[in-house]
Amino acid sequence: MDTASQSAQVSVEGVWKVFGRKVSEAQAMAKNGASREEIQTATGSVVAVRDISFDVAPGETFVVMGLSGSGKSTLIRCVSHLVEPSEGRVEVCGTELTRADSATLRDLRRQKMAMVFQHFGLFPHRKVVDNVAYGLEVQGIERQERHERAQELLDTVGLEGWGDHYPQQLSGGMQQRVGLARALAVDPEVLFFDEPFSALDPLIRRDMQDELIDLQLKLQRTLVFITHDFAEALKLADRIAIMNDGAFVQVGTPVEILTEPADDYVRAFTQDAPVAKVLQACSLMQPLDGRGVSPDWPQVSETTPLEDALPHLLGSTNPVVVCDEQNTPVGLLQGDDVASVISENRG
Amino acid sequence: MTAVDEVRTKAAGLRTGSEHRLARFILAASTIVVLVLVFQLFTNFGIFPDSWDIGLADPIDRARRWLINNQTSHWLYTVFLNPITDAIDWGIRRLESILKWFPWFSYPLVTGLGLWWTRGRFAGALGLAGVALIGVIDLWAESFATLALMSVSVLISVVIGIPLGIAAWRNESVARVVRPTLDAMQTMPGFVYLIPFVLLFGFGRVPALISTVIFALAPVVRLTEVGLRTVPQVTVEASEMFGATERQTLRLVRLPQARPAIFAGMNQTTMLAMSMVVIAAFIGAGGLGQVVLRSMQNIDVGRASEAGIAIVIMAIVLDRFSTGIATADPGRDARAMRWLGAAVSVVAVVGGILGQNEFPESLNWQFAPYVNDATDWARDNLYDIGDSGIGTGPFSDFVTLEFVTPLRELLSADIPWPAMIGIGMVLGLWARGIRLAIGIGAALFAIGFLGMWELSMDTLAQTIVGVVATLAIGIPVGIMTSHNDLLRTALKPVLDFFQTIPSFVLLVPVITLFHVGRIPGIIASVIYALPAAVHYTDLGLRRVPAEIHEAAESFGATRGQRLRRVEMPLAAPELMVAVNQVIMLILAMVVIAGLVGGGGLGLEAVRGLRRSDAVGRGFEAGIAIVLLASILDRLTRAFADRLRPPAAV
Ligand SMILES: Nc1ncnc2c1ncn2[C@@H]1O[C@H](COP(=O)(O)OP(=O)(O)O)[C@@H](O)[C@H]1O
Ligand SMILES: [Mg+2]
């Protein structure tokens, strides 16, 4: 076992998932490069996930982005072991799920992981507070205690006072807050999100994304986040995996994906992405490496979006100085670098 | 190949398929005609030969005698059946005495309060008055007997049914056994369940209870399974993700979400149990059914009507209660009701201690005499209105002479029995295939071997007349309600009402007008089956998508054309379901009508239940009813399947 996967909180190695009878035949065809349709017509089986490996470090947000049907849900279900992978190894918090017996798996789910679902998956017969307390109830925690904890979490997600309602009496955005509170209630180390915001209106979606970012800053959990929305991926991710036809096409930081798309499939997403909004000054700057800085040069902070730094670049031939939170210069933003990224984007 | 080509080939495939089927059908039909003619040349047969009767009745009668003689000594009884009997009997008695311990006024109060809460003020007031009326007409004790028997039956059905439903949901191979068994059990007229149990246990409440449980079990099992199956997968996954065990997920997530379906099943089970408990009066179940039965035998229509009304009140209250519970909104504030409930409980307990449990005689008032007067009047004035040849009597005669008798003659004598079997088999072949054909042939032969050929044809003739009459009324009404929401809303309570009434009770008003014989049975069966005919026609026509209506209209089709060319064909499968339901309901009722002189298999079965020397014949008749019901059910279901448009490819 290499060191990377030892320090990783989620480690996935060579995972396959084939739906249907002829698993090995389908896998053999896939290894010879056959597409999903070809395999399906030949064997009747669907190769939903093909040979996927990745590691997620503690505190990292790993986003899997792909079009509908690309196998994202199947992948995250393999990782959380809601479906059994046809082949491969999944390790969460140091326990190998693919070999664990059902008691171990159950304990791991109770202690270490939680999931937020696309269509919320709330229990319509339970009050909001009992939804949130569900994980604790399953663990056998007393009513009084679990309700207190549930109330706390409802406050955290901005739903104080809604505990006695039933989920279906809440709006979609509020329902997903319940979903989030329910997942957080068991204090998990790893959180799985399967397109949690896809069913929401754009404005509400944005609010939820912002709140998730805030929460994550506070909680520092390990997140595996599925989305079909590239902008969402850019916004939330530490690293993004682009998925197509069951396989990863490219894995990298948002900047890497934007600046060096691996192929035309990825480029199709990056082209339409609001690069100047998404990229921040720090992502394109060159490190200072002891170079001097003129006080006349314009200054921006690390987190300034590219689009706000652009006017400074256009206004002078000098580079823009990028400063950290203490206002000490850390890098330089060069007009050429920015121009090349933006022209690639328009490309 | 272009898409158009593809469609063409597929259409051609369909056509050759159906041509092939037609050719097979013609071949089979002509073979049978030839065979029948050849037979006819050599022998001269109308009805099934007597000498082929295998005489099952004798061994049954011997078994019955043996059972009676050994009831106190044989291990089958001492170790097995008697303890069961005693336990069940003890349970019913116990419940009855508990029910009777409460003071009389707690029942109308609780009913009124419960209905008020679940259904509103008006329903509450009606419930209170209805339950009080049962006491007023002096049927309090009988009602408790019926209620106790029914409650224990429902309890046992639920205790067996829910786990069975869970097992069927969990395990496909259990489901594969349970589902068709339940289907078959529900197809049978409830009446026939009485026969084997009376054979085994003799008369009394225990065989009544067992046959009620069997008759009423199906819905709770089926709806438990359906309810569990339709729990959203994502909630189950959510539960699993929290590390819930299977049991926890079942208890905390699946069963609560299946609750509405399970309650709907319990409601249906309750209604079936109610109707069966009434019919079980035939084998000495006592209670209200007994009053109806005895009064009808004494031609005391008044008392029969009183008991009938008590049964109807009980059925409706139970129905409204159980649907009210099933559809109750979990979010509703129940505080006020809890207070009221607590207050009533206190009053009930205090009253119980003070011994206020008999319904006060001073409140008695009976309307039976008036009904009897009205019946006499109807007999004198409506049965034959002033020698004019108009009236219910001449009507009965007319239907009997013009339809029922000729049809019976046709089926049992004019068409030779091999031809009848041939026709049945050809219909089976046409509707589904060779297996159904063979099944039908075997069933018909079996009816013959039982010596029940003629009686079965009698029952079949009555059923056909009833079905034709029901469809002739029900389908047009269904068409009207499907086009007219107002009419539908107006008719709904009436149809609901008739569907809630236990079948047996319907005979009471009918015999006031039509006396005894085959006609009152047929008329009662038509009334009994009409709601189903209207409902399924309406349902089928309403399922036709609005776009199709509009498309037909845009081609300038008239209303009539639209109905004939578009709506009816599209609704055809549903209409066939209507036919199926109607046939089964009519058959069930025609059989019960054996009691009022309906003749046919029903009469034979009734006699078998009442006279211990006729048990064997009754048993044979019961089997014949089962066979006849199965044939008709399979055949109409197969036709319904055929009418469904091919599934999308
Ligand atoms: N239980 C299943 N049985 C068979 N095929 C499935 C099943 N679940 C998903 N699939 C197939 O696997 C593929 C990937 O599906 P999914 O993982 O849901 O994609 P995504 O979440 O990216 O939309 C699809 O072609 C889908 O039809
Ligand atoms: Mg998905």
Backbone angle region of B611, left / alpha / beta, with phi > 0 → left and psi within -120 to 50 → alpha:
beta
Ligand number nearest CA of A66 is 1
In chain B, how long is the greatest CA-to-CA distance?
Answer: 89
Res B46: pLDDT:
60
* Nearest Cα to Cα of residue A155 among A147, A144, A166: A147
Higher pLDDT: B183 or B250? It is B250
Determine how many CB atoms are found less than 10 A away from the CB of residue B23.
Answer: 10
Q: How far apart are CA B520 and CA B278, in angstroms?
A: 19
* Nearest Cα to Cα of residue B263 among B322, B317, B201, B182: B322
Terminal Cα-to-Cα distance of chain A (whole angstroms): 42
- Least confident interval from A6-15, B152-161, B541-550: B541-550
Res B45: pLDDT:
59
Amino acid identity, residue A2?
A: D
Residue B232 pLDDT greater than 90, yes or no: yes
Residue B557 pLDDT greater than 70, yes or no: yes
Q: How confident is the model at residue B41 (pLDDT cuts 50, 70, 90)?
A: low
Res B20: pLDDT:
63
Residue B40 pLDDT greater than 70, yes or no: no
**Chain A nearest C-alpha distance from B1 (Å):** 17
Interface of B with A (CB under 8 A): 232, 234-235, 237-245, 248, 252-253, 256-257, 259, 330-331
What are the helix (H) ranges across B242-281?
A: 246-249, 255-279
Res B2: pLDDT:
47
Please give the helix or strand (H or E) that residue A90 lies within, else none: strand A87-92
Pairing, β A299-301 against β A320-323: parallel
> What are the contacts of B486-493 at 24+ separation with CB within 8 A?
B488/B538, B491/B534
Share above pLDDT 70 across residues of chain B, in percent, rounded to a whole number: 91
pLDDT < 70 stretches in chain A: 1-6, 344-347
Bridge partners, residue A113, by sequence: A190
Pairing, β A247-252 against β A239-244: antiparallel
Higher pLDDT: B216 or B117? It is B216
**Chain B nearest C-alpha distance from A82 (Å):** 7
Q: How far apart are CA B217 and CA B265, in angstroms?
A: 9
Q: Which residue is it, tokens 């429902």?
A: B154
* Residue contact B331–A80, C-beta within 8 A: no
The pLDDT tens digits of the residues spanning B272-293 come to 999 899 989 988 888 999 999 8
The mean pLDDT of B75-97, rounded to a whole number, is: 85
The mean pLDDT of B151-170, rounded to a whole number, is: 95
Residues lying with their CB under 5 A of ligand 2, a single-atom ion: A 73
A94-98, B17-21, B199-203, B597-601: range with highest mean pLDDT? A94-98
User: Phi, psi (5° rounding) for residue B545?
Assistant: -60, 145
**Cβ neighbours of B232 in A, within 8 Å:** 121
* Residue contact B243–A106, C-beta within 8 A: yes
Name the closest-CA residue to atom 26, ligand 1.
Answer: A69
Answer whether A71 contacts ligand 1 (Cβ < 6 A).
Answer: yes
**Residue A187, C-beta contacts closer than 8 angstroms, at least 6 positions apart:** none
User: How much distance in Å is there from the Cα of A76 to the middle of ligand 2?
Assistant: 9
Please classify residue A116 by burial: count the beta carbons closer than 10 Å to its beta carbon, then call 0-12 exposed, 13-18 middle and 19+ buried.
Answer: buried
Residue B354 pLDDT greater than 80, yes or no: no
Please classify residue B546 by burial: count the beta carbons closer than 10 Å to its beta carbon, then call 0-12 exposed, 13-18 middle and 19+ buried.
Answer: exposed
Res A1: pLDDT:
42
**Cβ neighbours of A109 in B, within 8 Å:** 240-243
* Residue contact A123–B232, C-beta within 8 A: no
DSSP 8-state symbol, B646: P
The pLDDT tens digits of the residues spanning B442-464 come to 999 999 888 888 899 999 999 99
Mutate to test the interface with B, among A95, A138, A162, A175 (most CBs of B within 10 A): A138
Q: How far apart are CA B470 and CA B466, in angstroms?
A: 6
Q: How far apart are CA A131 and CA B525, in angstroms?
A: 51
**Residue A343, C-beta contacts closer than 8 angstroms, at least 6 positions apart:** none
Q: How far apart are CA B594 and CA B459, in angstroms?
A: 10
Answer whether A228 contacts ligand 1 (Cβ < 6 A).
Answer: no
**Residue B540, C-beta contacts closer than 8 angstroms, at least 6 positions apart:** B478, B570, B571, B572, B573, B574, B575, B577, B578
User: Phi, psi (5° rounding) for residue A16?
Assistant: -120, 145
Answer whether A83 contacts ligand 1 (Cβ < 6 A).
Answer: no
- The residue of chain A with its CA nearest to that of B238 is A121
Q: How far apart are CA B98 and CA B145, in angstroms?
A: 12
Q: How far apart are CA A189 and CA A59, in angstroms?
A: 9
- The residue of chain A with its CA nearest to that of B248 is A138
Amino acid identity, residue A82?
A: L
Q: How confident is the model at residue B210 (pLDDT cuts 50, 70, 90)?
A: very high
Please give the helix or strand (H or E) that residue A62 lies within, else none: strand A61-66
**Cβ neighbours of A82 in B, within 8 Å:** 237, 240-241
Terminal Cα-to-Cα distance of chain B (whole angstroms): 16
Q: How confident is the model at residue B226 (pLDDT cuts 50, 70, 90)?
A: very high
Res B333: pLDDT:
52
User: Phi, psi (5° rounding) for residue B107?
Assistant: -70, -55
Q: How far apart are CA B496 and CA B319, in angstroms?
A: 10
Res B350: pLDDT:
80
ipTM of the complex: 0.85
* Residue contact A82–B240, C-beta within 8 A: yes
SS (H, E, C) A13-53: EEEEEEECCCHHHHHHHHHCCCCHHHHHHHHCCEEEEEEEE
The pLDDT tens digits of the residues spanning B485-500 come to 899 889 888 888 887 7
Q: How far apart are CA B498 and CA B517, in angstroms?
A: 22
Please give the helix or strand (H or E) that residue A305 lies within, else none: none
* Nearest Cα to Cα of residue B534 among B574, B591, B588: B574
The mean pLDDT of B136-165, rounded to a whole number, is: 93
Answer whether A69 contacts ligand 1 (Cβ < 6 A).
Answer: yes
Cβ(A320)–Cβ(A312) below 8 Å: yes
* Residue contact A186–B240, C-beta within 8 A: no
- Least confident interval from A308-312, B608-612, B636-640: B608-612
Mutate to test the interface with B, among A93, A126, A178, A198 (most CBs of B within 10 A): A126
* Nearest Cα to Cα of residue B104 among B367, B365, B368, B364: B364
* Nearest Cα to Cα of residue A135 among A96, A169, A125, A122: A122
Closest Cβ–Cβ partner in B243, B253, B257 for A107: B243
